[in-house]
Structure 1
């Protein structure tokens, strides 16, 4: 499997009582495919995977696979603290028909780089599906060492990495080393830093996984297409528009809720205003946006040309 292009990390629509809203999730899948998504990533950070029960995770994956109906690959986040727990999620995801898995390093307690590499090998072998690493230091409190990524790229344990570290210097060095070792044709590097996608693509990244892409999938698809065609002026202009739109994640008062609640609430409020999902609820204990914050989100949608 070779992953490129725009791969949105699906939000998980919920009902007012906290159940997975499968009808809204199916509409979201159609919205993303119509916008140009080349694959779908369910149960990532934007999908609130850390807040969902195992039953809810299964419902999300089953619905996403059925809604995609083979049109694009479906990636499943199997994020958890330890190898046995990740393996359990991975085997369930494989049984539900996903095409690839996405896992972080173990967290809560730290692991040595050799233990981190062993973790990924156990997940890959135990589930029998292509596996991507998810590098997100703010959530797991460690950055994946480049040496581990290169080692696992060479032995084909990993088919790629989603880099949400925000470290463009490390990303550049990884891309250069992959090219020097002849691994760039088999190992996909996807940026999760949605405000610097044009820079990452210019450096040689293969694609983008952007939470804001739930709201404006066509914008990220255009950005990717401009970059791949070498239209860097147009790519930069599209990135600038998306950067302005991204301000919707700051619509809430930071004195009243977490940054996670504000960002996910902003995405979901936007999707509700666009008529894609029925309810903007986020999972407990995340607090909902105020009416005033929703009006700010609406203003950003209008300024971004989406309403």
Structure 2
């Protein structure tokens, strides 16, 4: 009984062990993988060759001694994947807009900016269409002149011209200016007179229209020159002269009055009349003693 006890314990332990796989139970091993004709490793790659005789690791790969499993790896997808070509039909970003100011004096034409910087210009009408009206921006007037600023229209312009006239007179045309001009100066105006100023743009197709100057953003505007005034130098000189003459007159009168008052004090008449002066009280018996 003591001899059978160890065998019974071992049989009882084996009942709790998991069952073996098909291979461990004596079944034959599966057949090796056959070579796939549709897949062959690329030339020069490190993939192992697959054939009827099984697999064999490449002879040019050698693992160093005492290597760590995380330090070395082989990525099969790195050799198989290729970069995808760009998707056709995707719109490319547009060039930036040109730094073009319609109201800047001596502004470089936008066509030259576009050729130099590869930027985009604002849309304008062609040379076969008459220009639109410029926008008169500001007017500064003096007694005999004025300076006018304007903004260019969205049109092809060859030259500008400033026309002006008195309200009850006829237009006077100024000289022609090139397409980069945004400023004009007029001289020979009359002081205290209201004028109508108009900026006209022109090309081979014609000239821009004008108006009566009532609108704020049109090509024309009414402005009045200031009245003639006396120069400030003359006004200042006249005031200084009057003030100086007044001061001299007051000082002269003051000294004259003091001198006259000083002569009356201490005289023989003051003593005889008994008037008090700076020297004391007059002696009433002075004339009597003098006669004795």
Q: Could you state the TM-score of these two structures normalised by the residue count of structure 2? A: 0.17
Q: Could you state the TM-score of these two structures normalised by the residue count of structure 1? A: 0.17
Q: Relative to total residues, which structure has the larger strand share, 1 or 2?
A: 2
The higher radius of gyration belongs to: 2
